[in-house]
Amino acid sequence: MKQVSLLFILLFALGHSLVAQDSICISGQLKGNTHFDRVVVKKFGVGVFDIAVVPIKNEKFSIKAPTGIEPGVYRFQYNQSSLNEYVDVIIDGWEKEINFTLDVSQDKRVPVFTQSVENINWYGYKQATDIQLKKIDLLQQLLTQYPDTTEAVYRIAEKVVNNKIKTFEKQFQRFVMEHSTGWAGVLVTNVPCYFTSPRDLPQLQDYYRKCNYWKGINTTNPALMNTPLYIEKILAYLRYYINPGRQSSEAEINEGLKSSVDTIMKKFDGNAQTRQFALKFLQLGFREIATEKVLQYINEKYTLPTGQCDNNGIDKPEFESRMAGYEAMKPGTPAPDIALTAADGKLYGLKAIPNKKLIVVFWGSWCTNCEREMPRLEAFIKQQPEYGVVAVGLDDDSVAYHKAAKLYPSMIHYCDFSKWQSKAAKEYCIVATPTFILLDEERKIIGKYPDFETMKYKL
C-alpha cells in the first residue's frame, strides 16, 4: 500500500506539468478561510491513504491528476485536526475540469460544484434527500412519543410520514434509473434507506435494520473499493454489537461480532477482489482495536483460501476437520512436542530450549509468501533474544530446503521431508504456509497466526 500511495503522489505531482488534454484539473475555493493552509488528498482502499498535499493560497487550491487515475471517490481534507471536515470528490477519468466552492465560515458546510456533472448530480441528490430524511425522522419521533394512537392528529402525522417515505423511494428509484451509467448513480444505488415502524421497541427496530442492512447493496463491484462506501458500510454493520447501549457481555459481543463477520464475508464472497478487500479490512480493524478472539476467528476461518500457500483447497469434511483442529490448538493448550536433533545427535524437545518464549513457524522453500515472511522473523529474533524459533520445513526436496534454511541461521531447523504429511504438520493442524504458533515458557499455545505482522502485533 505504501508503494501505491507513493505512486499516486508522483502522478499527482507530475500532473502539474502535464498539458491540459492529458490531465484532470481539480480546483476549489474555501470562502471565508482564515485557518486552513493546505488540502490533503486521500485515496480509499483497505483504509485511507494520503496521496498528495496541496497548498491553499488566497482561499484557493488547484491540483492536476493524470487521466489514467483510478476512478472513484477521493477525499479532500482541508482541516487536519478534524476528520469530519472534508469534501469527497468523484473523479471518473472523463471529466477534465472539477471545481467547487465551500463556505467554511458557515456552520453547515456543503460544497457547491460549478464544474463536474457527476459531482453536481451526486451532491444535488444528497442535499435534497437529506432534508427529506430529516423531516421523516422528526415525524417518526413524534409518532414514537405521542401517547394516544387513536387521536386524529396521530393518524394525520402517520399518513404524512408514509407519504413522505413513498416520495423518497420514488425519488431514489428515479435518480438511479436516470443516472445508472454514471458514478453518481452507482453511489446512490448502494446507499438505500430502510424505514422501520416508529412504534416498535428500539431494540426491535435495530434488529430489523440489521436484517435488511445489506439489501440492495452491491458487494461484488471492485470499483467501489476505491470509495468510502464499503468501509463505512462494514463499520456501521459491526457497530450493532459494539454499541454500549446494548449492555452485552464480552462473550456476547464477541459471538455477535463473529456472526457479523460471517455475514460480511458471505456478502462479499461473490467476487475475489471484494472478498479479499473485506477480509483484509476486517483483519486490520480487529487487530487495531485488539479484539483478539474475533481476529483469531477470522484468521482461522477465512485467510487460508486467498492469503497463503494452501494445501490444494478444501472440501466440507476437510473444513470440519480443520475446525476440530483449531479447537485442539486453542490458547492455553499444551503444544505438541517436536523431536529435535542436537549437534551431537541426541534428541531433545521444545521444553529443552532455554528461551522464555518460543515461536514455531511452518514454512516451505517453495512458498512465495514464506520468502517475504521468514526474513522478517529472522530480523526480529536477532533483536529479541528472549524469543526462540523452531522452523519446521514442509519440504520434500532436500537440496532446495537446505539452501533456503541457510538464509535463517538464527532459527532451529527441522524437516522430515514429508511435506504436508509431516507428523508435526498434522499434530499442529497445519494447512497453509507460513503459519506461526507462539508458545509461552511452559510451551502452552498463546496463539496461531497466518503472518508475521499478526503475530508481532500480539507480541
Domains of the chain: 2-114 (2.60.40.10), 119-307 (no CATH), 312-458 (3.40.30.10)
The answer to whether the CB of 368 falls within 8 A of the CB of 433 is no
Cα 202 from chain centre: 29
**In the prediction, which pLDDT does 224 show?**
96
Quote the crossing angle between the two packed helices 250-267 and 229-238, to the nearest 10°.
150
Q: Which residue has the cell 434527500?
A: 129
Number of Cβ within a 10 Å radius of residue 427: 15
Question: What are the angstrom distances between the C-alpha of 202 and each of 133, 142, 144, 243?
Answer: 18, 14, 10, 13
**In the prediction, which pLDDT does 379 show?**
93
**89: β partners:** 74
Cα dihedral 174→175→179→182 (10° resolution): -150
**In the prediction, which pLDDT does 454 show?**
75
**Strand 38-45 vs strand 72-77: parallel, antiparallel, or unpaired?**
antiparallel
**Grid cell in block for residue 234:** 462494514
Instruction: Tell me if the bond preceding 305 is cis, omega within 30° of 0.
Output: no
Sign (positive/negative) of CA torsion 63, 64, 65, 67?
Answer: positive
**In the prediction, which pLDDT does 16 show?**
42
**In the prediction, which pLDDT does 324 show?**
61
User: How many whole angstroms separate alpha carbon 378 and alpha carbon 409?
Assistant: 8
**In the prediction, which pLDDT does 8 show?**
44
The answer to whether the CB of 359 falls within 8 A of the CB of 455 is yes
Q: Which residue has the cell 486453542?
A: 330
The answer to whether the CB of 36 falls within 8 A of the CB of 104 is yes
**Grid cell in block for residue 393:** 520445513
13-45: string of b/e by CB count within 10 Å (b at 16+)? eebeebeeeebbbbbbbbeebeebeebbbbbbb
Sheet strand arrangement including 387-393: 412-414, 387-393, 357-363, 435-439, 445-449
pLDDT digits (tens, 9 = 90+) for 186-206: 999 999 999 999 989 988 988
Of 6, 108, 102, give the one whose Cα is nearest residue 52: 6
User: How many whole angstroms separate alpha carbon 63 and alpha carbon 48?
Assistant: 19
pLDDT in tens, the chain (459 residues): 444 444 444 444 444 444 445 789 999 999 999 889 999 999 999 888 889 999 999 999 999 999 889 999 999 999 887 778 999 999 999 999 999 999 999 988 999 999 999 999 999 999 999 999 999 999 999 999 999 999 999 999 999 999 999 999 999 999 999 999 999 999 999 999 999 999 899 889 888 998 999 999 999 999 999 999 999 999 999 987 776 566 677 788 888 899 999 999 999 999 999 999 999 899 888 876 657 778 888 887 886 544 455 454 444 455 455 556 656 677 888 999 999 988 888 889 999 999 989 999 999 999 888 888 999 999 999 999 899 999 999 999 999 999 999 999 999 999 999 998 899 998 888 877 888 999 999 999 988 887 787 788 666
